[in-house]
Amino acid sequence: MQRYIPILLLVLVLSVPALASGEERNGCEPGYRALYDNSVVEFTGTGELDIVVVTDPLCWHCRLGHKLLGEYPDQYRTLRLSFFPRLSFPGSDMAAWILEDAVGTDHLKEYVDFAYSDLKMVKTDDLMQARMLMLMQFTEAFPDMLKDTTLPELAVRLQKEHEPHTMLTTDLAKTVDLPGTPILIAGSTVLVGYGPGPWLDALKEKKICK
């Protein structure tokens, strides 16, 4: 049990709003609003706050944050996911492409829930192989993805259609000097890292951008 204490402390420290140039981050500034505006994966709640999470489906703390937000849809009006694939999770960019490809379909939530609960990291440093292994996990869980296509053809299409957008979201995250994932932008509040208490507090404070 003791070996988890340092990790918990790290999470709590990272959950404090980060400082940029000596000032607290403000989620209402254009750079942060661009992350929200550019995000295409969206879920609707019953609250008043528009939020965006800079996230990677294979990031453990991102998964914890995703689960938490799923339990409190009354605390936000819209929840958008801005994908920031991390180099430490090879192939997670493929997962992002798949989720963005599902936008506008009936199975978006099912795909997202799968990505944030069942998708497994792959043990390879070969990026192309990692992407194919990610795609295979999805197609095994959702065989209809291969209707009228093949695995290689699907991989090529997903990269062609969605890589430019995920690269843009990565650039936007770097523009506002975000260090990694997850990042919660809840109105004017920006939280770097995950902590259930700070995240819920940010939602309840409802610091809505005007």
Q: What is the CATH number of the domain that holds 176?
A: 3.40.30.10
- Both tokens assigned to 179: 């260090």
Query: Does some domain include residue 111?
Result: yes
Q: What angle separates helix 108-115 from helix 92-101, to the nearest 10 degrees? A: 160
Query: Does some domain include residue 4?
Result: no
pLDDT beyond 90 at 12:
no
Query: Does some domain include residue 150?
Result: yes
Instruction: Report pLDDT digits (tens) over 58-78.
Output: 999 999 999 999 999 999 999
143 burial class (0-12, 13-18, 19+ CB within 10 angstroms)?
exposed
What pLDDT score was predicted for residue 86?
84
Query: Does some domain include residue 12?
Result: no
DSSP at 199: H
Query: Does some domain include residue 9?
Result: no
Contact 108, 99 (CB under 8 A): yes
Whole-angstrom Cα distance, residue 49 to residue 2? 37
In this predicted model, which residue has the larger pLDDT, 86 or 67? 67
What pLDDT score was predicted for residue 140?
98
pTM over 0.75: yes
In this predicted model, which residue has the larger pLDDT, 176 or 8? 176
Average pLDDT, the chain: 88
- Over range 77-87, report the average pLDDT: 93
Which residues are paired to 53 by β-bridges? 81, 184
Query: Does some domain include residue 43?
Result: yes
Phi, psi of 90 (to 5 degrees): -55, 130
Instruction: Report pLDDT digits (tens) over 98-145.
Output: 999 999 999 999 999 999 999 999 989 899 999 999 999 999 999 999
Query: Does some domain include residue 3?
Result: no
Q: How many domains does the chain have?
A: 1
The total number of residues shown for the chain amounts to 210
Domain of 157 in residue numbering reads as 20-205
Phi, psi of 54 (to 5 degrees): -80, 120
Nearest Cα neighbor of 137 from 94, 105, 172 is: 94
* Cα angle: 197, vertex 95, 46; to 5 degrees: 45
Is-cis flag, bond preceding 182, omega within 30?
Answer: yes
- Over range 7-13, report the average pLDDT: 32
What pLDDT score was predicted for residue 59?
94
What pLDDT score was predicted for residue 16?
34
Query: Does some domain include residue 2?
Result: no
- Both tokens assigned to 58: 């294979």
Q: Is 71 helix (H, G, I), strand (E, B) or coil?
A: coil
